[in-house]
Amino acid sequence: MENQGHYLTPFQRKLLLKSLETDLRPEYRRRIQIMLLADIGQSQAQICEAVGCAQETARYWITMAQTGNAHNWSDRRMGRPKAVNEQYLTRLKELASHSPREYGYPFERWTAQWLSKHLAKELGIKVSNCHINRLLKEMGLSTRQISDNKKLTHAAKDCSITINDLQSSSELDSPWPLNLIKTSN
């Protein structure tokens, strides 16, 4: 490669060449190769053929070299974002099982949006609201408030009512058609 390139400064060129000597992921190596080839005057089509990349990839890294940003070759993340891990799931379960007020929030119930924001800030893993709800459902949890019917069902388990012999309406002295006797558990 010649000493005077089209886009890179001598320092940038030296930095990129030095980086190629290290053990790099193939994707990072390709980024550097694209910028170095563009610097010596190779066309986008020639670069794509030489390194085996898509035109969009070549165009992006050629532009990075042209705009003086070649040193940022390792800043742009590759692939899918970090996936949730056991630590994330454990923390999600812990948060969902406690009031947000215990963590300094002014509201009484979590929403998927607030759980996502809190966990992104705490663990650095950003997850969509829909995915938070999916994870909660898999754990048997929810951000939804228990409906009144469910509350009544749970309350009814704490009471027991026994219905004894039913009398005909002519035998009743009270306005109630049943004799209810409350029993203890």
Which stretch of DSSP H or E encloses residue 180? Answer: strand 180-182
**pLDDT number for residue 84:** 81
The burial of 127, by beta-carbon neighbours within 10 Å (0-12 exposed, 13-18 middle, 19 or more buried), is given as buried
Give tens-digit pLDDT for 47-79: 999 999 999 999 999 999 999 888 888 776 666
Is 156's pLDDT higher than 80? no
3-state secondary structure of 168: coil
The stretches of 76-159 forming alpha helices (DSSP H) are: 86-96, 112-123, 129-138, 148-156
Q: Identify the residue whose tokens are 């408030």.
A: 145
Structure tokens that stand for 60 in this block: 């992006």
pLDDT category at 2 given cuts 50, 70, 90 is: very low
> What's the alpha-carbon Rg for the chain, to the nearest Å?
33
Judged against a pLDDT cut of 70, whether residue 176 lies above it is answered with no
pTM attached to this predicted model:
0.44
Q: Of the given ranges (81-85, 89-93, 147-151), which has the lowest mean pLDDT?
A: 147-151
What is the residue extent of each domain of the chain? 10-72, 86-138, 148-182
Average confidence (pLDDT) over 123-131: 87
